[in-house]
Structure formats: C-alpha cells, structure tokens
Amino acid sequence: MARILVTEEIADSGLDLLRQDGHTVDVKLNLSKEALAEEIKGAAGLIIRSATKVTKELLDQADELLVVGRAGIGLDNVDVAYATAHGVMVVNAPQSNILSAAELTVALILAQARNVPQAHSALVNGKWERSKWEGVELFGKTLGVVGLGRIGALVAQRALAFGMKLIAYDPFVSADRAKQMGVELCTLPELMQRSDFITVHLPKSKETVGIIGKEMLEIAKPTARVINVARGGIVDEEALYEALSNGKIAGAALDVFNSEPCTDSPLFTLSNVVVTPHLGASTTEAQDKAGVTIAEQLKLALAGDFVPFAVNVSAAEVQESVKPFLPLAESLGKFLATLEGSMPTKVTIEYQGLLAGGDTRLLQLSTLKGIFGAGTNEPVSYVNAPALAKERGLEVVETFSDNANDYVSLLSIASAKHRVSATVSEPTKEARIVEVDGHRVEIPPSTYMLVVRNDDAPGKIGLIGTILGDAGFSISSMAVGPSNDGLTALMILSTNREVEKEVLSAINSASGIIYARAVTC
C-alpha cells in the first residue's frame, strides 16, 4: 500500500475510499514551498486542488511519485509535460462541477431577470420597492450561449424549459450537433446583436481573454444582460462597467473575476450587477464528486489499472517507434485546428513508413487532444477525445502506407481545406514540420508561428519581414517552400509572441497574399 499526500481540502468521502483500500492518507494543509518539497518525498500519490503548484522543482524532489490527482478540472498549476517526461501520471476530475456550474448560471440568469438580490437587500433594510425592481420574463427571450461545451449545453437544455430561443457561438461545434440541441449557430457579433441574455462558457486562453469587450458590448441590445460563470477576464470588466454605466446594456451577473479573490471593484457599485464569489463548483455534490472521482483515479493508477481521466500517458505504454510522435501528433492537431479556425467535419490521419507498422492508437488520441485543446472549453484527455469527436460531429479517418518518400516515418493530418505533415529526425528525435498545404518546408514546431501563403512573386519575404519588424517581432526560425506548380509559395515563421489580429490584417490585405494565419503548436 502507498502513502498519499493531500495538500488541500478534499471531501472525506474520497479520502475514506483510499483509506479503505489500505493506503496511508497523509493530510498536510497550508504547506510552505520548502515544507512541501520535504513532504513529497516518499509519497506515491499527491492530491491537490488549485492552490498547490506542482512544478519542475517539486517533481525533482518527488523520489517515489507515481500519480498527481487534481480534484477539479483545471491543470494550470501542474507542469504536465515535465510530469509526463518523468513517468508521473496526471489525472483530474473533469466532470465533477459541470452540473453545479450550469445550475449557478441559470440561477444568475433568473437573479438578473427578476432583480432578486437587489430586492432582497432593499427589503431587509426596510424598503418595500415593488415598482423599482420590476423585472422581465425569460419566456420568448433569446439566450446567446458563447461556448457550447458541456456546461454551455446543459445551460441551453435548461433554458429550453423556460421557453427561451437559443443561439450560440462556437466554431468547434458542427451545425448538425447544434441543431440536435435546438440551438442555432451564429457569429459572435450576430449573437451579441440578437441576444437578450448572453452567457459565457469558454476556457480562458489568449484567444478568449477580453473576447466580450468594448466592441462587442457596443453592438449589444440596450436590454441585454451578460452572465459569466466561466473564467475571469473573458469579459472585459472595464468595458463592462462602462457599458453598464452608460446604459449600453441592462445588467450583468458575474461569478468570476480577472483577479481573485476580488472584494473591491467598480462593478460592485452598480445596482444592475449581481455578483458571487466564484461559487460555480461550490456545492456539496460537486465537492463530493471531485473527491470521490480523484480518489477512484488514484486507486486505479496505484494498482496499475486503466485510468479513465489520465491526461497524460505513461511512456512505458508506448512503443519506441511511436513514442517520439506522441507530442508531435498533439502539436500537429493543434496546428491544423488553429490554421482551420473552426472545427472541420472530417480529419484524415496518415501514417507512413516505419510509423505505419506501429501501434498508432495513441497517436490518433494525441491528434484529437491537439484539435480539441486548441479551440474548445472541454477538458480533453486520451479517454474522452473520441467521445468529443462523436459529440461534435468530427469524422476521423486513418490511412497507412509503407512508403514515406524521403523519410523513415511521416505523420500527416488533413482536413478539406488544409494539410500538414511532420517527421522526427534520427538519431536526435527532433520534430520537424515538413509540408503545409502542398508546400515543402522544414521547421521545428514552436508555440507561436505564422503561416503565410502567397503568389510566388519577388518581394514577399521582405514584405512580411518589414511588417513584423515594424510591429516589434523577432523571428527565431523560418522556412519557405514553393508549390509543385510553382504558382504559389508558403512561408512559416516562428515568432517571439503571438501575432496580433491587427498585424494579421495588415499582412492579409497586402497584394498577392492568399492567407496569413497565426498558429500554435
């Protein structure tokens, strides 16, 4: 039996499961960084929530650690890549709070519609203000759901019971899937213009921070109300305050804030704002689910059994010929998804050369992890990736060929619009992107990349370099390749930061540019 270190409050129902299995559960709360480094020694399992940071330095001190369990969804506080490289499994409880978060969203929609908190506060302070807190009905109103993942879908389902009309913005949900849910897909600007209530259910990322900002709030109805139970910062709080103060929109309800804990905000001074202190997962049921789920995952991991919510894969489970391609497959999936800009209806994964003879099942899962990780708010694991593909209408086709042309092994991923190929060089095992949309290139994947396809004419490289240089970008690597017919060329550049929309717009508007896309790996 193993020693399991628990550094944050976990429901007793979960810890009791581990004790019943014979494990030693060592609860040590509020540890300093130095104390945690000592306590981790000799622990086979570690259970955390959001406060404990599982860093490279901590993992280096963990001499017997086999599994880290996050009792919740987010893994921002865990260095998953370093844990994977050191054979430490990372698991989470991705479904523990989705129902609670959806129900709180509905509660805040109702609170906004009927001014419940404001009326309560007035009455307990001796004021009978029936006319002042007149509200609106939900029946017949349009609910705009920004992010139609699991929580967004649950909110939409419940809104239908109120007789609301449903529209949604989510480029990674197919129209057929949305239709099955009784939801009409539309663009974000259209959603903002048409919605009476706007509820946000997106992950917080560089693409979504501030997505509901001044520009979007300017085009909303003056009767619109914004609800955010997702992550702070997705709704620009400064722009929201301005819109509420100037009567651009009618109200807002927030459970999350850009900086937490938040006890002082200009938004708190407005009578048309309802706020709660990040209560999305704060139900007895959600806490019990998280504790029990993570305990069950640790029991399976320590017993060497299949672990449903593992977000990484033990290197021991992967063939040597396939192992170097696991991170590359995820990077290619992410590259294709960001190049595409929305969820394709079909993806073809091609395995060529030596790779085609290996066990490629995990490569398909890694590819799907990359695709969904690039643009959805779903917690993606090797286990739930196929289910997400089915739910979102993504058809996956695999092909195998012994011939890899000039390479020992080649991995390619293609949609109807785009195709990207990569390989791993011998003997260094260094990953290389070698083809994009029919253009031969050679460049290592990196976090921030720019892909530009243009007419094959002089001056295009200088044009792109000048635009990037004027915008303060540095370029760490670059590859250029012509098409087979010689009519177009493609360049890929690795940049020091993400290329902003304004810079992309300047490139796309230049003469001879077919497309310019900021992509990530």
Domain ranges, ordered by start, for the chain = 3-95+286-312, 98-275, 318-436, 447-521
User: Helix, strand or coil for residue 110?
Assistant: helix
Whose tokens are 């850009």? That residue is: 258
Return the pLDDT at 318.
Answer: 62
Whose tokens are 């209560």? That residue is: 279
Same fold, 3-95+286-312 and 98-275: yes
Query: Distances in Å between the alpha carbon of 167 and those of 66, 99, 144, 341?
Result: 45, 20, 5, 20
The DSSP H or E segment spanning 383 is: none
Residue 520's Cβ-count burial label (10 Å; 0-12, 13-18, 19+) is buried
Residues forming beta bridges with residue 452, ordered by sequence position: 491, 516
Q: Which of 38, 64, 134, 260 is catalytic?
A: 260
Whether 238 is catalytic is no
**Residue ranges for the chain with pLDDT beneath 70:** 313-318, 375-384
Q: Which CATH number fits domain 318-436: 3.20.20.30, 3.40.190.10, 3.40.630.10, 3.30.1330.90?
A: 3.30.1330.90
Whether 278 is catalytic is yes
CATH 3.40.50.720 is right for the domain spanning 98-275: yes
Q: Which of 201, 231, 418, 419 is catalytic?
A: 231
Q: Which two tokens stand for residue 366?
A: 């890694």
Q: Which of 19, 86, 194, 278 is catalytic?
A: 278
**Region for residue 54 given its phi and psi (left: phi exceeds 0; alpha: psi -120 to 50; beta: otherwise):** beta
Q: How far apart are the C-alpha atoms of 231 and 78, rounded to whole Å?
A: 18
What CATH number belongs to 447-521?
3.30.70.260
Query: Distances in Å between the alpha carbon of 487 and those of 266, 416, 420, 456?
Result: 56, 21, 19, 5
3-95+286-312: CATH homologous superfamily? Answer: NAD(P)-binding Rossmann-like Domain (3.40.50.720)
